[in-house]
Structure 1
Amino acid sequence: MIRIAIVNDTLMAVEAIRRVLATVADYQIAWVAYNGLQAVRQCARDCPDLVLMDLLMPVMDGVEATHQIMSQSPCAIVVVTASVNAQASKVFEAMGYGALDAVNLPILGVRGQADNGAKLLAKIAIIGKLLGKSPRRQDQMQPAQKGPVPSKPVLPLIVIGASTGGPRALKAILSNLPKNFSAAVAIVQHIDVQFAPGLVQWLNDRSPVKVELARDGGRFEAGKALLAGTNDHLILRSDLTLTHTKEPQDCFYRPSVDVFFSSVAKYWPGSGVGVLLTGMGKDGAQGLYQLRCAGWHTIVQNQASCVVYGMPKAAVELGAAAKILPIDGISAALVNLFVNYF
């Protein structure tokens, strides 16, 4: 059973969401709030498993409500709004405060049926797995085996994994790197494919380092950050080019940090720096452990600066973290490492 709260100031929108949720027996509506302030107060009294949060509301909008809920009564939040693309900036703000994902609002059809509800149900199913109802996934991966490698990489490389609260954490890191940064950067952020181009633009506007979507056949470049931008997994191949793969199909984190980190640990000819940021779940912990076993320096975000201390905590418990740093200290550490080590 997943207890779900609805936050929306429009009665028709609330009803559309109700009808979509009613199609799944295990989904129970905990309560309904009609503005952000009501939602904050309701969460303090009765914290649900999941909040479906609108963005544009009177009294308090969904961005600030997400911020306050995650600070005071943290729970899973998905933005559900009339047009995700039209509100991209606010969507990324909400994700920066801890919203897990965003989806367009279902609408009531002419016969009273709720249309366009499939994507919302798919998002909720994924959240259900994140809340602990998922089957065993890639936790059985073993450290990647590598042959003899050069003492230094062909190109200095930083790989970053992030989930809940990741956009804000990524902005904090990338905005403080120098424009002439000598390393290449690769990022896997749990985000739906439709939001990836907007996230790239949002980060580009806030970072001296150029940010682009990773593409099949692409290669790492100094001073450029590549972001995984599809619902398939980003991986590094033996020829040091990037590609996307659907395998493993049973991994519900898409794109998966573990899958990407594992491929880098296996094929990158040398060492680098692996970074695991705020996020719900455990994705990235095994992959970061593989990188550390392969001789990489590894950094995880500390609990105090995380929106959700799930992924970094899992990495620490696994022994994958060489350093645990606040988000404001990670970019300085990266610059220092590449100046003094690589």
Structure 2
Amino acid sequence: MKIGIANDVAMAAEALRRVVASTAEHQVVWIARTGVEAVRLCAENRPDLVLMDLNMPELDGVEATRRIMEQSPCAILVVTGRPQDSVNQVFRALGAGALDVTATPMLQGKADGATELLAKIRTMDKLIRHSGGNQSMQPRSPTAAPEPRDPGITRLVAIGASTGGPVAVSKILAGWAPPPGCAIVVVQHIDENFADHFARWLGEQLTIPVRVIDDGDGLCHGVVLVAKSNDHLVLDKDYRLGYDAAPRDYAYRPSVDVFFRCVARHFRGDAVGVLLTGMGRDGAEGLLAMRQAGHTTIAQDQATSAVYGMPRAAVELDAAQMVLPLDKIGPMLRSTTGSRS
């Protein structure tokens, strides 16, 4: 892959360059010292992947990500000193279109930092190739946890998202108090090391609690349940949730397709499948399975998607009964499932 580095700290940029240069299959095509320079270099020589720092002069990594995704979109991996200390910035960057986040090897104080970064880059490479390259990333148009295994679950809202997903999920669920008997499950493409941070951040945006799913948990109402593993979230006939490594060669982890197919196969009540912004095709076939099982299916429209990949694939398969802008999806969920008075 052709890789661009955006980092104003000379030692950090050099560390990243050396990690990339240590492999034969990747090359650094440019190094930007400011966010403005990163936006310009992406337009002049678009790489396959940008390693984006959060804190840079002139333009920070969040705004640089947003402008790159609007003007010359490509895969972006946030690489910053201590991601856990910049949770709000990280999720703003993910909402603007970054795919994932990891720590800068030289700053995290772990001997395997370079190995972790290279593993992330390999994952990005799989995603890009599986999605048909960066050409497929079109610019946008301008509290206490409830008791597990609630036996009274009769409705399920299943949400799948990737690039730009954290902000999209928070917007469609903001201000909503689902009625008794309605469970909400979110499958967001995010590394398991950051899933807990995602759940805490999402909980700060919503009026109902959010928690990650442990293996063996059951569907329950009054809380947003979030997948937390790089393995795939599954649902069985008894409404137990768990994780499965198979299919092991699937680039998208956790897979929206895997969970949506489980919902189609096992959920006996009324379910709504929502496929939000994201790169690639994950979730489209699962959404189709849900529609064929008689459930309601919704895809986000192109104008409001950070990357119109996953929703586009669903539309092409005729998997979505409704294709809606982001600000219409929340009201549709309320009208479909109701609200707690």
**1:51 maps to which residue?**
50
Question: What is the RMSD of the two structures over their aligned residues, measured on CA atoms?
Answer: 2.1
Contact 2:131–2:281, Cα closer than 8 Å, also in 1? no
User: Is residue 277 of structure 1 aligned with residue 285 of structure 2?
Assistant: no
User: Is residue 240 of structure 1 aligned with residue 243 of structure 2?
Assistant: no
- The count of residues paired between Structure 1 and Structure 2 equals 319
- TM-score of the pair, normalised by structure 1: 0.89
Deviation string 1:157-203 (CA, Å, 9 cap, x unpaired) is 10000000000101111114236576211010000011111111111
Once the 2 structures are TM-superposed, how far is the Cα of residue 254 of structure 1 from its aligned partner? 1.2
**1:129 maps to which residue?**
126
Q: Aligned partner of 1:122: which letter?
A: A
| Secondary structure in 2 matching 1:205 | helix
Q: Aligned partner of 2:223: which letter?
A: K
Structure 2 unmatched ranges of 5 or more: 133-151
Counterpart CA distance in 1 for 2:180 and 2:216 is 23
Once the 2 structures are TM-superposed, how far is the Cα of residue 270 of structure 1 from its aligned partner? 2.9
| Secondary structure in 2 matching 1:55 | coil
Counterpart CA distance in 2 for 1:306 and 1:283 is 15
Counterpart CA distance in 2 for 1:134 and 1:277 is 16
Contact 1:84–1:103, Cα closer than 8 Å, also in 2? yes
- Is the deviation greater in 21-30 or in 5-14? 21-30
**1:18 maps to which residue?**
17
Cα distance change on mapping 1:159 and 1:50 into 2, 3 Å: same
Contact 1:163–1:278, Cα closer than 8 Å, also in 2? yes
**1:120 maps to which residue?**
117
Counterpart CA distance in 2 for 1:115 and 1:242 is 32
Contact 1:108–1:115, Cα closer than 8 Å, also in 2? no
- Is the deviation greater in 170-179 or in 207-216? 170-179
Contact 1:12–1:108, Cα closer than 8 Å, also in 2? no
> How is 1:88-237 mapped onto 2 (pairs within 5 angstroms)?
88-107=87-106, 116-132=113-129, 154-178=153-177, 183-237=182-236
Once the 2 structures are TM-superposed, how far is the Cα of residue 337 of structure 1 from its aligned partner? 1.0
Q: Aligned partner of 2:54: which letter?
A: L
Counterpart CA distance in 1 for 2:33 and 2:153 is 55
Once the 2 structures are TM-superposed, how far is the Cα of residue 26 of structure 1 from its aligned partner? 1.7
Contact 1:258–1:285, Cα closer than 8 Å, also in 2? yes
Counterpart CA distance in 2 for 1:16 and 1:108 is 10
**1:73 maps to which residue?**
72
Once the 2 structures are TM-superposed, how far is the Cα of residue 52 of structure 1 from its aligned partner? 0.4
Deviation string 1:67-124 (CA, Å, 9 cap, x unpaired) is 1111211111000111111112211110010000011112299xxxx96211111111
Contact 2:127–2:252, Cα closer than 8 Å, also in 1? no
Contact 1:154–1:269, Cα closer than 8 Å, also in 2? no
Contact 2:291–2:319, Cα closer than 8 Å, also in 1? yes
Once the 2 structures are TM-superposed, how far is the Cα of residue 222 of structure 1 from its aligned partner? 2.1
Contact 1:16–1:108, Cα closer than 8 Å, also in 2? no
Q: Aligned partner of 2:123: which letter?
A: I
Q: Aligned partner of 1:248: which letter?
A: P
How many percent of aligned residue pairs carry the same amino acid?
A: 49
Q: Aligned partner of 2:300: which letter?
A: Q
Once the 2 structures are TM-superposed, how far is the Cα of residue 314 of structure 1 from its aligned partner? 0.6
| Secondary structure in 1 matching 2:229 | coil
| Secondary structure in 1 matching 2:303 | helix
**2:249 maps to which residue?**
250
Counterpart CA distance in 1 for 2:46 and 2:131 is 21
Once the 2 structures are TM-superposed, how far is the Cα of residue 223 of structure 1 from its aligned partner? 2.7
| Secondary structure in 1 matching 2:205 | coil
Counterpart CA distance in 2 for 1:116 and 1:239 is 41
Contact 2:127–2:251, Cα closer than 8 Å, also in 1? no
Q: Aligned partner of 2:31: which letter?
A: V
Structure 1 unmatched ranges of 5 or more: 136-152
Q: Aligned partner of 1:173: which letter?
A: I
Once the 2 structures are TM-superposed, how far is the Cα of residue 287 of structure 1 from its aligned partner? 0.6
| Secondary structure in 1 matching 2:4 | strand
Counterpart CA distance in 1 for 2:178 and 2:207 is 5
Once the 2 structures are TM-superposed, how far is the Cα of residue 271 of structure 1 from its aligned partner? 3.1
